[in-house]
Amino acid sequence: MKTFWKTFWAAFLGCILALIVNVFLVFFLLVGLASAFSSSDSDLPMVSPNTILTVDLTSTLGERTQEGMNMDMGALSGLISMPKGGLGIYDATRALKKAANDKNIKMVLIKGGIESTTSIPLLEELRQALEEFHDSGKPIISYSMNYSQGDYYVASVADRVYMHKDGLIQFTGIGADMLFFKDLGDMLGVEAQLIRHGKFKAAAEQYIKNDISPENRQQNMEMLSSMWNTMAAAICESREISPEVFNDAVDNLKLVDPASLVEAGLIDKAVTSKEITDELCQLTGVENESALKYISLAKYAKTAPLSYKGKKKVAVVYANGEITTEGEGLTSSKYVPIIKKIRKDKTIDAVVLRVDSPGGDAQAAELIREELELLAKEKPIVVSFGEYAASGGYWISAGGSHIFSDNATLTGSIGVFSLAFNYGKGLKKHLKINPVSLGTHKHSTMGTGVKPLDDAEIAYMQKFVEQVYTQFVGIVADGRKMSVAQVDSIGQGRIWTGEQGVNVGIVDEIGTLNDAIECAAFLAYSKDYEGETLDVGAEAPAPAEGEEAAEEEALPKNYAKINNSITAYRAMKTDGYKVVEYPKVKSQYESIMEMFGGGSSDSEAILKKILTEFKDAKGVKTYARMPYTFMFNY
């Protein structure tokens, strides 16, 4: 009987404790939610006169702005991971454009860190926006305890670059490590069979080789060099130093501490925290640190309107992630309805397709491209590349009226591959399992994973790969007004940077997302004047007799068409269009409800991805995808 009561009271106390914990959990959650949603969208941050705008390069900068939860969960913070926010590149650049003309913003302070968390293409767009801010005549100062190479690349745009006297930097160039798994596969008894078109199509090469192929080494070295040259050229121009001297210093590890950076001309002075504070006080004309006023770029961005005044409306479609038919990322099931909705929306005049994708499922890419082709017949589509626009990402982009890319974007990879794994030997070797395959025909168990593909099956898959590659090349040739032979010569699965892409014809122009939006707005207006030939710099046509002139703010200053490419969009008034964005970004409430409701935890999401990879490994699938997602060291 004593055992019963001990068990009973233990269970009873456990239930009471669980109830108390749940009550506190709900209480903290409700308090946090109330705090998070208490302010309305109309409650914009107030900017006082003489304010310093801070650009913190250690903060998250991504393709789109995502609101995070600023809740203090106290002791529960270790148990609950709240959705994290981040600033989108378009919002960041719009904010800097506004700040240049905001009389309350005195200057910009750039703050860096020891590790870059933002891709080089996004850093490139941010740096250009800072250069344009600098043209306003307002000062830019950069200060950090430590700098990563990527952060310094942005910081070098400043009038004066400072570093803490005890700070560090590792200037070593851009590197990427590649792992090859053939020896591991041999040890485990797992064999990979790769069917591909394109001598540069290195996707899955790491499963069939134990070292990099010469073609893969060549394309990767050229790609890394192009990315580095983008950064180095900008740094050297801003700091007025020789590229040869700079690269020699990097090659010989001469740049590590503030003294070496001062000697090389990369920073102006090594300082203490008090010295940089005194510098800011002097620049803003205040007596002491307590009088300094700051506002972060993310907070200030909330004061910059997404849409300007004007008659035309531009839709920006963010095509981000792996291309698949279902699930997360750039899925045909999600994006086809979005594109169709935009096509039917009579209020939308032009579209920007912002692509940040390494590719994926060729069939899903084609479904998206088909819908974009229908849209292009009714509205102009301008394409803007982010970090990746390769393989399937380029597949959906090739039909755009004008393609913009950052210098360091990875694009091209016009090639196709199929990959089959078989683990029959491993089952027998390690688990003593002997698989037996049964089927009504010779090849009924082709691609099930327990036996390798035979010669006939490989030839069968090769035909399919060739068919998809021919389709891919044809799409690019039609979209880029090139011959099939020209596309094939720059295809073969080769990866190019955006800078290289301009030279080989798969990119029209180096430019930012904002450039693409302005170009799309220009195209929207130019449709009103189709058939008229106008020179660059010409004034907009006068209204016909009896017609009223349109509002000045709704018209671009200039119109031009030269060789079917747009060259005058930069001269357009920035208040001449409105912007809408797709897909809809999840609200804070939706993110939290997903987390506590049907959404998956981080571990569940990782497990789901792993299981999906194993599921997809069964059978033979054809991909229009980059070789791998690069993890760059910069």
Report, as residue numbers or ranges, the catalytic residues.
Answer: 391, 442
**Contact (Cβ atoms closer than 8 angstroms) between residue 565 and residue 46:** no
**Contact (Cβ atoms closer than 8 angstroms) between residue 51 and residue 105:** yes
Alpha carbons 392 and 359: distance in angstroms, whole number: 4
CA-closest candidate to residue 300, choices 621, 45, 596 = 45
- Say if strands 350-357 and 381-390 run parallel, antiparallel, or are unpaired: parallel
Q: Per the structure block, which two tokens stand in for 517?
A: 């939006």
What angle is formed at CA 194 by the lines to CA 190 and CA 198, rounded to 5 degrees?
A: 155
Phi/psi of residue 202, nearest 5 degrees: -90, 5
In DSSP terms, 569 is beta-bridged to: none
Number of alpha carbons in the 13 Å side-chain half-sphere of residue 436: 1
Alpha carbons 430 and 188: distance in angstroms, whole number: 8
CA-closest candidate to residue 584, choices 298, 323, 317 = 317
CA-closest candidate to residue 532, choices 544, 520, 521 = 544
| Alpha helices (H) along 63-169 | 89-100, 120-134, 149-155
**Contact (Cβ atoms closer than 8 angstroms) between residue 202 and residue 219:** yes
| Number of neighbours of residue 546 by Cβ within 10 angstroms | 5
In a 3-state reduction of DSSP, which class is residue 175? strand
CA-closest candidate to residue 450, choices 474, 466, 434, 471 = 434
CA-closest candidate to residue 391, choices 293, 322, 294, 456 = 322
CA-closest candidate to residue 320, choices 330, 331, 328 = 330
